[in-house]
Structure 1
Amino acid sequence: MKKHYDVTKFEKVAQDLFDYDIDALSRKYRDHALKGEWHGYRKLHIQADWLLIYQLNNDELTLTLTRTGSHDDLF
């Protein structure tokens, strides 16, 4: 990962996504649905300016980790 991100924080988020506790994801990582050209994707904050965009397929545990980086990197 570029910018020397702490991979252990990413691993923790990945585990929380695997457990899929949407309330915890919303509270801990400000998880929310995206709009516009990113409709169908979700975004959460691993850290203040380290974001993860992901997609869930049909409310099943098929997780597509799409992009990660700072807000400026992604948008």
Structure 2
Amino acid sequence: MIYEVIWTSRFKKSYKLCQKRGLPLQELKDVVELLRTDQALDAKYHDHELVGEFHGTRELHIRPDWLLCYRKNQGILTLTLVATGSHSDLFSK
């Protein structure tokens, strides 16, 4: 299965911040490609579902403090990229 990738406005903003920080965006692109093509993720990514207000969203670790939050809809084959950044970027209020 191949998923259509959708970038939320929040993801677009957080992606630009990652660019400014000089993070290696190819690592993000590589993991998005694994998700898009429905390939198994290595355990190093610590992929897991979030709970509470983030229920229905999954999170994985590109690096120890660089996360990707996403949603997969298998019914209509969409991969929605919700946000990327550090723990404090994503979960601090």
CA distances 1:14-65 after superposition (whole Å, capped 9, x unpaired): 11111223xx325131110000000000000011110000001145530000
RMSD: 1.5
For 1:32 and 1:2, the matched residues in 2 are separated by 27
Q: Does the 8 Å CA contact 1:49/1:70 hold for their aligned counterparts?
A: yes
Q: 2:30 — aligned with what?
A: 12
Which has the higher relative contact order, 1 or 2, with Cα contacts under 8 A spaced 6 or more apart? 2
Query: Residue 73 of structure 1 aligns to a residue in which SS?
Result: helix
Farther off after superposition, 59-68 or 42-51? 59-68
TM norm structure 2 = 0.70
Q: Which runs of 4+ in 1 moved over 2 A?
A: 58-61
CA–CA distance in structure 1, aligned partners of residues 30 and 88 of structure 2: 23
Counterparts of 1:70 and 1:26, CA distance in 2: 20
Secondary structure of 1:4 counterpart: coil
Q: Note closer, same or farther for the CA distance 1:58–1:19 as it changes in structure 2 (3 Å cut).
A: closer
1:62 aligned residue: 78
Which structure has the greater CA radius of gyration? 2
- Give the strand-richer structure, 1 or 2: 1
Structure 2 CA distance, aligned partners of 1:61 and 1:26? Answer: 21
Residue 20 of structure 2 corresponds to residue 2 of structure 1: yes
> For structure 1, which runs of at least 5 residues remain unmatched after alignment?
none
